[in-house]
Chain A
């Protein structure tokens, strides 16, 4: 029965233990952590500042108490460890920031000093090489010793700095050695150049002279060797020297100098040969011989010379002949002048003497002295009055004045020698004009570049002289038309101002005339623009083409 009655059965369960989120703890931890981090940052900042201050003070200490390279060398020499000289590891301040900074300053200072010292020594080496006191091997050894010695000085103290110093010194050493090498080879080249120059200037001319004087020789096979062939063998010697120097510009200059020296020596040798008495006795005949190349032992050499050198020989010959002629002529002229002056002196005396034997003696002396230097009429006019009104002694006095002082102003003569008659004044005027003409002619010759006393002028000289003479005559005529006389000095001055224009115009005219002449020979028309190919087509020879081109250059240059 009891089993059929309903019964309440228990269903309640104890609730779960609530799970709490401890956010406050987490936040507290985060706050604490942030606080700790902030404090850490603050302390780091403060330590950083303090460390910086300590480092600065250490650097200052190191700078104020530097270790010198000399101290390191002394310590090494006395067996002490150089490390003891420095702060840091074994210094008073130990491995503190201050100590390390002081050590860094000391090491940097001594490294800098060592580098400067090494650079100074390297500079001295360069100077030594430049002066020729140090040769290349010695310089190389010195640099290597420096490199090893200086970098090893710091290796025990600060290997890193030592390595850096060695690298820096090695760079310096490389550039120094490069410079030393360049300087050394440059110096060697300069010495070679001096040798080459000396050979070209002092030895070569003598050798060429000797070869030329020796004339043609025979080789062992019986063949003929000309002086030029022997001279040509000198060129490879020079080229060998120049190849060692390796300076293209200098080589070109030297080869050019060689050619010019050879050319000059050839010209000098032949010029010297033709200046002998054999040629100078008859300059005109000698010139004909020279032009024909008939120079005896020098004939072959002369004919082998280029046209310019042949022309130079002829010019030298004419100048030498002119010089000799001038000397002779001047001596003759001086002698004549002296004789004339003596005649005038005697004439002045003659006219003051009374008739008698003494006067006859003077008269005879005048005739004797005047013979050969004055004409009979001139002598006669000196001793005999042609007009009763004329005072002969006064005219003689005026002539003496003109001859001795060179006065050209007739009024000046009239003032200084009063009492001259109009006829006498005209004669004196003529005398002045003659003297002026001589001076003018001499001045024009000088202006035209004609050597004093040159017998035979070259074509150019002749053309210049002619152009200047024409202009001088024009200037002279203008002056005479204005004043009745002219001063050669003034005419020459005006002529000098117009010289370039006159000679250039004349040269161009002459060049054009020459081109016409050449053209007429071949029946063609030539002008300054006719090309070399066209000239060759017209069958002109090479020397003719050169001459035509020279004329063309004259015309074109003038434009």
Chain B
């Protein structure tokens, strides 16, 4: 029966080690995914920032054209004020979306890093489990 005990201890150790490796691999894939999601979200925010800046410029152009057509100085007075306001708010929206894109990029990188750490810990846990199994086997053998 001794060989059965030795074989089961070896199998238990290998299983624990292998489980750690698998978990590390899984966490590595999750890290990649997290980083990729961060980058995609940042790009989406940047696209939105550009659309908002374009919308602001288009609004100013329409205001100038309408003032000129109405015989009003398009660069002063209320027409000028309306254009300045649109330019200011459009620029603010652009900045906000740029910040959002940066935040998404940073959080994706952070999550990826966390997952990589978790993978390392999982691998260590697998190694510890394997070592414990071997240690217990040796101790049990010593008691025989």
Contact = CB atoms under 8 A, between A and B. Distances in A.
A2 B79 CA distance: 6
Interface stretch (A10-18, A190-198, A233-241, A298-306): A10-18
A243 interface: no
Nearest to B94: A12
Contacts of B48: 12
Contacts of B11: none
Contact of A7 (B59, B114, B117, B125): B59
A376 interface: no
B59 A6 contact: yes
B10 interface: no
A5 B63 contact: yes
Nearest to B107: A18
Interface stretch (A35-43, A110-118, A177-185): A35-43
B17 interface: no
A53 to B, nearest CB: 12
Contact of A41 (B93, B111, B136): B136
A1 B70 contact: yes
Contacts of B38: 18
Decide if the interface of chain B is mainly helix, strand, loop or mixed.
helix
B132 interface: yes
Contacts of B55: 8
A2 B87 CA distance: 16
A38 B128 contact: yes
Nearest to B72: A1
Interface stretch (A21-29, A62-70, A253-261, A517-525): A21-29
A42 B120 CA distance: 25
A516 B139 CA distance: 103
Interface in B114-128: 114-122, 124-125, 128
A445 to B, nearest CB: 90
A192 B90 CA distance: 135
Contacts of B30: 23
Contacts of B114: 20-24
A540 B70 CA distance: 174
B138 to A, nearest CB: 11
Interface residues of A, number: 32
A423 B135 CA distance: 130
A34 interface: yes
Interface string A299-317: 0000000000000000000
A57 B20 CA distance: 44
A18 B79 contact: no
B5 interface: no
A28 B121 contact: yes
A375 interface: no
A34 B62 CA distance: 69
B73 to A, nearest CB: 11
Contacts of A27: 23, 27, 117-119, 121-122, 125
A18 B103 contact: yes
Contacts of A45: 136, 139
A510 to B, nearest CB: 86
Contacts of A20: 107, 110-111, 114
A431 B125 CA distance: 134
Contacts of A35: 128
A31 B104 contact: no
Interface in A70-113: none
B82 A5 contact: yes
Given A2-B81, A22-B114, A12 B66 contact: no
B45 A8 contact: no
A38 B52 contact: no
A30 interface: yes
B85 interface: yes
Interface string B34-62: 00001000000100110010011001101
A501 interface: no
A47 to B, nearest CB: 13
A11 B59 contact: no
B97 to A, nearest CB: 5
A5 B82 CA distance: 7
Contact of B97 (A9, A12, A22, A42): A12
Given A23-B115, A31-B128, A38-B128, A11 B78 contact: no
Contacts of B97: 12
Nearest to A14: B96
Q: Point out which of B45, B79, B120, B121 has the most chain A C-beta atoms below 10 A from its C-beta.
A: B121
A13 B100 CA distance: 9
A1 to B, nearest CB: 6
A4 interface: yes
B48 to A, nearest CB: 8
Interface string A222-241: 00000000000000000000
Contacts of B104: 15, 18
Contacts of B59: 6-8
A24 B93 contact: no
A41 B100 contact: no
A38 to B, nearest CB: 5
A6 B58 CA distance: 10
6 contacts: A7-B63, A8-B60, A12-B94, A23-B114, A23-B118, A34-B128
Given A7-B82, A18-B110, A24-B118, 17 more contacts: A2-B78, A5-B67, A6-B66, A8-B85, A8-B86, A8-B87, A8-B89, A11-B93, A12-B94, A15-B45, A23-B118, A24-B120, A27-B117, A27-B122, A28-B117, A31-B124, A38-B128
Interface of A: 1-2, 4-15, 18, 20-24, 26-28, 30-31, 34-35, 38, 41-42, 45, 49
Query: Which 5 A-B pairs have CB atoms at the shortest separation, nearest pair first?
Result: A18-B107, A2-B78, A8-B86, A24-B117, A27-B121
